[in-house]
Structure 1
Amino acid sequence: MQALKDRLTAQARGEGFDACRICRPWDVPQVPARLDAFLEAGYHGQMAWLEDRKHWRAAPQVLWPEARSVIMLAESYTPQHDPMQVLAQKDAGAVSVYAQNRDYHDLVKKRLKRLARWLIAEQDCEVKVFVDTAPVPEKPLGQAAGMGWQGKHTNLVSRDLGSWFFIGSVFTTLELPEDAPEVDHCGSCRNCLDICPTGAFPAPYQIDARRCISYLTIEHHGPVDEALRPLLGNRIYGCDDCLAVCPWNKFAVEAREVRYHARDDLRAPKLAELAALDDAEFRAFFSGSPIKRIGRDRFVRNVLYAIGNSADQSHLAQVQSLICDPDPTVADAATWAARRLMADT
């Protein structure tokens, strides 16, 4: 099986993956207790599916009992630019690096499927592919497979790839040789904890999604707590702060996939132009982008919070025009932004 694993690794790299590691589905015994503690603390916020599917997420071997190996794949999306620079541009919105071009779910899943078909052709077996949307504890599995370790910000960090990489998995009935698990290399560093604008980390290796800007701008429905809105700054979709300050990024490799390179119009998109989008324009502008998934109303809500934080009164007329928006959350955000801007006069 080692020869097959070697060919698999070479094939994975040929498909565009930057790392290929293997573990067993049952190599993450710590997950059930950690997941229970996370849910019991209410840290999942409105993400009810985490609790609804916890029996699968807590134990990958329950998700597919026939699986004997998990092939973990990583693909770099390291940016060509400094993603923190846009935070100082108050007339622009900050979009998370992973969402500045094509939806990675589609690209990674196609690569996974091609790799899975190759494996079936090489060796009679069954396979299932997963990328992010299934109840799979991908980060713990990544650590068990030696791909990286879950840092103090709870994201996976690699000594070879830094923080900027997507992960996907191929479950198979084959018993492939395992890789050694990775150990923690964070040391005394607190960069990711200290940079968080909203204090979303109750302790190292713990995250309260209810305070995380990525959660608030993407997963959270309805108005955001008014106490948190000023802390969002101009972040309108996701947040990269805790990833960007990780020292291990000095080893990150630039994304080979050009469809992960930032679109020019999403490096620092103008808030005024984004606030003016109606539903059809929003869908057209973000066609093929993960941003399209949250819909126009939630996105414009985020843009209005950013405008409210801008102290730029040239936005006031546009904001006031959205106070009567049909969506109550947009109307609430516009009212708040207008009040903020007028308070700066």
Structure 2
Amino acid sequence: MAQEKATFAGGCFWCMVEPFDEQEGIIDISSGYTGGKTEHPSYKEVISGDTGHVEAVQITFESDMFSYKKLLELIWQQIDPTDAGGQFKDRGEFYRTVIFYHNETQKEQAIQSKKDLSESGRFSKPIVTEILPALPFFEAEQYHQDFYKKNAFRYALYKRGSGREEFKRMHWPKDRSHLRVSLGDMQYHVTQENGTEPPFENEYWNNTKEGLYVDVVSGEPLFTSKDQYDSGCGWPSFTKPVMDASVKERYDLSHKSTRVEVRSREGDSHLGHVFTDGPGPKGLRYCINSAALRFIPKERLEAEGYGDFLILFNSRK
């Protein structure tokens, strides 16, 4: 596999790791500083504005699996490329946006990508993101690395308050219109509008059949009946997903009390929430909306292309 490096400055580097970290073909992401005049600067030195550095991320990727063009498409969706004075609520030269190229091919692709965005009419103001040759990259302090994983709640508060997500939804809305046809009203409300169906009035809350639950939108495997139990809450409850990588979790700050939302990894469907009052060694209760799920009985798994999961039902608990 051919490995390359890509370096992007997009404002606070806390928010520039998560979007790339979830992509197949990304080997490593480091938060750090580049573009300045001193070596190994500290965070305090950089934000003082005296060193000339910007906060940035350096990505090592397998270009055969995830091309540099795809990285460019993704970076534009994370930033406000029309803002020369910083990013969102983070102001200052050290928060400006820059695409640092590592070779001539990257330079050409970056220039063309910027030109295409300018001509697309997506933004009414000029694109001011700079395209510059890569300079020495210095890793930031350890507490800045993978901040969104190590400090999930603080990260969620920061990201919400920064205005970054709201800007992204405004300028890069996901086209989910086709799902209006394929999903029922409640399925759409739950998966696409982060809704919640009524307890005890949904399809699977008391299901006792053996089988696999998949995302009603994408079909990706999520939970099995082997891990389902009656929690008394009125929604399907599970002690764990079928695989750790099946779902992604993030803090939900839209409710009066802080909750951890559960979403499908590939389909990005809202599924429900996970709580710490469940049975089992980890004490977790995945409280999931039936409307987000499609149940495939054990005897139908092979016919529907999920034959690999039969092993879960042929082995002892």
TM-score of the alignment, normalized to the shorter chain, above 0.5? no
Using structure 2 for the length normalisation, give the TM-score: 0.27
Q: Say which structure, 1 or 2, has more relative contact order (CA 8 Å, 6+ apart).
A: 1
The structure number with the bigger radius of gyration is: 2
Using structure 1 for the length normalisation, give the TM-score: 0.26
Structure with the largest fraction of strand: 2
